[in-house]
Amino acid sequence: MVAISPPSKVLVTGANGYLATWVVKKYLEAGYSVRGTVRSLSKSAFLNDKFSDYGDRFELVVVEDITKDGAFDEAVKGVDAIAHTASPFHFRVTKPDDLIIPAVQGTTSILNSALKHGSNVKRVILTSSIVAVYEQTEVPRVFTESNWNNAAVEAVKTKGSAADPFTIYQASKTLAEKAAWEFVAAHSSEIPWDLVAINPPWIWGPSLSPAPTLDDINTSQREIYDTLTGARTNAQLQGEGSWVHVAVVAEAHVRATHAVDASGQRIIVTSSSFFYQDLLDLAAELGIANVARGEPGSTKGIPFVINVETKKAEELLGLTPATPLKDVLAESVDDFKRRGYPGF
């Protein structure tokens, strides 16, 4: 496949989302033109204001329901690449289909539209997740792009609506990404484009969206907020995860668009692992007032159980995320303060 370089036009789905606004920003800064899809123009007017300096290089189109057949038929016409970021990310679920149907059908919908009407499309970049890669484990493991979180899918099949919301989310991302690769395999003789999947963990850093109230906060950023404001038990604070700066993930989408060797690859994009207690210890170092303290120092020196390999991000995209966790925590707290969120 050839590189898709500026001033090519990229379709960014769900353009008003937390990550997507950064993706749009990075594409425009790199010289691309961007067409963004949103569910409502009235709720996305801030995008036109934010990117007004780019003139006709930025446009918005409405796609009200991404699960409908043909939802993206018009949107894909005339674009050279697609960054599919639109997928539900929340834990307010009562049954698995709340997340799985829009995640899977939204993905297959845009791929079908690209197949039928995206005659110019040369590459599709899918925003997947690291939760489609790793499974929960009791012993230390190193996960790579060859791994799949089949355990979450099986758990949801077995437990149904009794499965916990995070497991349902993990299953939705796993099934959506698998559906994308299966679509490409099934239509390999017909499609003129290839697929790249970006697999990030918790995405942290300041939002470019208005998000005026706590109800509007992104689910990833809510992890930081809830931890600092005391919503985690001491046992939960011993839990681990991994994180990456939002600007790095956005840049990964841009680089995956023009990196020829990224064709057909899953790419884990992450900075480092953490314990939730680490966030509280770093907040204390930063002198952030009125936040929870947990059990200071209790996770220091403890090895991580879940580890991931990041060679592909370095070799294919030239990404070496270097932002310290302390810095992204400070950025996020400053963002909370600017918005007047309770407790900050």
Asked if residue 48 is part of any domain, the answer here is yes
Asked if residue 228 is part of any domain, the answer here is no
Q: What is the pLDDT of residue 136?
A: 87
Starting at the edge strand found earlier in the chain, the sheet holding 33-38 runs: 58-62, 33-38, 9-13, 81-84, 123-127, 194-199, 266-268
Distance CA 63, CA 77 (A): 14
* Helix, strand, or coil (residue 282): helix
Asked if residue 284 is part of any domain, the answer here is no
Parent domain of 264:
9-209+243-270+308-322
Q: Mind listing the pLDDT tens digit of every residue in the chain (344 residues)?
A: 678 999 999 999 999 999 999 999 999 999 999 999 999 988 889 999 999 999 999 999 999 888 888 999 999 999 999 999 988 787 788 899 999 999 999 999 999 999 999 999 999 999 999 999 999 888 999 999 999 999 999 999 999 999 999 999 999 999 999 999 999 999 999 999 999 999 999 999 999 999 888 888 999 999 999 999 999 999 999 999 999 999 999 999 999 999 999 999 999 999 999 999 999 999 999 999 889 999 999 999 999 999 999 999 999 999 988 889 999 999 999 999 999 999 88
Q: And the tokens for 301?
A: 């020196």
CA 341 to chain centre: 23
Instruction: Report H helices in the chain.
Output: 18-29, 45-50, 97-117, 150-159, 165-186, 219-228, 234-237, 246-258, 276-285, 311-317, 325-339
Q: Say how many C-beta atoms besides its own lie within 10 A of residue 257's C-beta.
A: 26
The one-letter code for the residue type at 8 is S
Q: What is the pLDDT of residue 1?
A: 66
Please name the residue that has the structure tokens 């070799």. 315
Asked if residue 226 is part of any domain, the answer here is no
* Number of domains the chain contains: 1
**pTM metric for this prediction:** 0.96
At 140, which CATH number?
3.40.50.720
Asked if residue 276 is part of any domain, the answer here is no
Asked if residue 139 is part of any domain, the answer here is yes
Asked if residue 316 is part of any domain, the answer here is yes
* Helix, strand, or coil (residue 188): coil
Q: What is the pLDDT of residue 23?
A: 98
Asked if residue 292 is part of any domain, the answer here is no
Helix (H) or strand (E) segment spanning residue 268: strand 266-268
